[in-house]
Amino acid sequence: MTGALDGIRVLDLSRVLAGPWATQILGDLGAEVIKVERPGAGDDTRAWGPPSAELGGEQFSAYYLTCNRNKQSIAIDIALPEGAALIRRMAREADILVENFKTGDLARYGLDYDSLRAINPRLIYCSVTGFGQTGPYAGRGGYDFLVQGMGGLMSVTGKSADDPVKVGVPVIDIFTGLYATIAIQAALHHRERSGEGQHIDCALLDTSVAILANQGMNWLVGGVTPRPMGNSHPNVVPYRTFAAADGHIIVAVGNDKQFGALCRVLGRTDLAEHPDYLTNELRNRNRAMLEPELECEISSWNSAELLAAMDAAGVPGGPINRIQAVFADPQVQARGMVVPVATPDGHGTPQVRFPAIMSSSPATIRRAPPALGADGAAILRDLGLDDTEIQLLTKAGAICLPEANQGRK
C-alpha cells in the first residue's frame, strides 16, 4: 500500500521543530521530502545534544532524530546566487515548500512566495514564523518558550501566578506544525479543484491563542481571567491528581454518573447524594468542601488497588508515568508505538510512529533521519545535473556534499 501523499514532493527549507514537524508528518503520509540545510552546520538541532546517538559513524542528537525521518538531505548555501538558483530549479518541480525564515528574509534571494509562484503557480508555500507575515511583531524572531509566555499558556500552567511554568514539551511548535500540516492538506484539496497553489501563513503566537480553547472562551464569554490551578480543572470537578497512600494518581470524572460511581468505590455514597454535589456545576462551586473529603478517602488506598477498582466501576483514572514507564506500558507496546528503523549502513534508531492508524493508506517510516547532505548528489542528478555541474557547484560553495558523493569516478 502507498501512502496517501505518495507522488507529492515537498521542499523543506525549515529547521528546529515547527516546520520539520509538519514536513515529517507529510513524509510519514507518503510524500517525498527534500530537506535543504546550511552547509557546515545544517539544521540547528543537529547540535542540540546530548543525548545523541551514533549512526554510521556520525552523531545525531535525539532532538534532530525527533522530527527528521522520511527525508532526504541536501546542503545548499542559498545566500550564493548559484544556491538560490538551485532552489528555484527545485521549486519548479515541487508541490509544497515549507520555510521558517524571518519574515521577508527569503525575498532577498528571490525565494519568496511571489517569486516562486511566478515559476510554479501550483506551488503551496507554507511560511512558519513566530508572529506571522503581518502586524507590529512580524519582524521578530519567535521561539516556543517565548510564545508560551506571550500567548497566555504559561499564565494557566503551574500552581500559582507567582511561579509561571512552561509545558514540559514544546507544544506551541508541535501544534503549529500540526496546524501547518492541516492547512497544507486543505490547500492540496483546493489545488485539485482549482489548479492553483497558495501561500499559508502560520504563526506560533496565532497557534498559542487558538489552543487556549476553553480557557480562552472562559474569558471571552464569561469575563473570567483564568489562573493557574495546578492539576485541577477550571470547569470540571473532581478532575485532578490525588495523593494515594503510595503516590499520586489521576481522577478524571467527566459526568455525574462517573461521580456517583467514584463515591461508591470510596464507600461514600453520602457524597453522591449530597445536594451540594449533585451536578458538576454544584461540585465546581463547592469544590473547596468536596475535594478535602475525597483527599481523605483516597489517601488510605494503595494506588494500584484504587485504580483497578475505579476501572471496574467505569471511573476514568490512571497513574502518572515517567517516560520509561510510558514506553514499557502494555497498551503502548501493544499499539506498536515504537518502530525500529534501519539506516543505510545497517545501524538502527528507534522512532515513535505516526499516531493515527489508516486502514487503506497507512503512514510509514521508510527512511531514518539523514546525515547532513547525504542525498545531495542523488537529488541533483534527479534534477538533471551531471557530475561536472555538481562539481562546479561544489567548488563555488553553493552545495556541500559528502566526499563519496561528489562525483562518480
- Per-residue model confidence as pLDDT tens digits over 270-286: 999 999 999 999 999 99
Residues 9-211+335-400, CATH architecture? 3-Layer(aba) Sandwich (3.40)
Task: Using DSSP, state whether 190 is helix, strand or coil.
Answer: helix
**What nine digits make up the cell of 65?**
532524530
Which one of the listed residues 112, 173, 201, 375 is annotated catalytic?
A: 173
Distance, in Å, from the CA atom of 155 to the CA atom of 409, rounded to the nearest integer, reads: 61
Cα 324 off chain centre by: 20
> 10-residue block means of pLDDT along the chain (409 residues)?
92 98 98 97 93 85 96 97 97 98 96 98 98 96 95 93 92 98 98 98 98 95 91 95 97 97 98 97 97 97 97 97 96 96 79 96 94 95 95 95 55
Measured CA distances, 372 to 75, 79, 260 (Å): 7, 18, 58
**Sign of the torsion formed by the C-alpha atoms of 129, 69, 387 and 405:** positive
Strand 58-61 versus strand 52-55 pairing type: antiparallel
Cα 335 off chain centre by: 20
Cell 510524500, located at residue: 31
Distance, in Å, from the CA atom of 75 to the CA atom of 206, rounded to the nearest integer, reads: 31
Cell 497513574, located at residue: 319
pLDDT of residue 406: 45
Bridge partner list, 34: 11, 72
Task: Please tell me if the domain spanning 9-211+335-400 has the same topology as the one spanning 239-322.
Answer: no
Taking the domains of the chain in order of start, what are their residue ranges? 9-211+335-400, 239-322
Distance, in Å, from the CA atom of 384 to the CA atom of 344, rounded to the nearest integer, reads: 24
Residue 29's identity, in one-letter code, is L
Distance, in Å, from the CA atom of 355 to the CA atom of 11, rounded to the nearest integer, reads: 24
**What nine digits make up the cell of 169?**
514539551
The C-alpha angle with vertex 7 and arms to 89 and 22, in degrees rounded to 5, equals 80
Nearest Cα to 376, choosing from 399, 398, 392, 397?
Answer: 399
Distance, in Å, from the CA atom of 240 to the CA atom of 236, rounded to the nearest integer, reads: 9
Instruction: Give the CATH H-level superfamily of domain 239-322.
Output: formyl-coa transferase, domain 3 (3.30.1540.10)
Task: Using DSSP, state whether 114 is helix, strand or coil.
Answer: helix
Considering the entire predicted model, what is its pTM? 0.92
pLDDT of residue 408: 39
Residues listed for the chain: 409
Q: Is 44 a catalytic residue?
A: no
Residue 2's identity, in one-letter code, is T
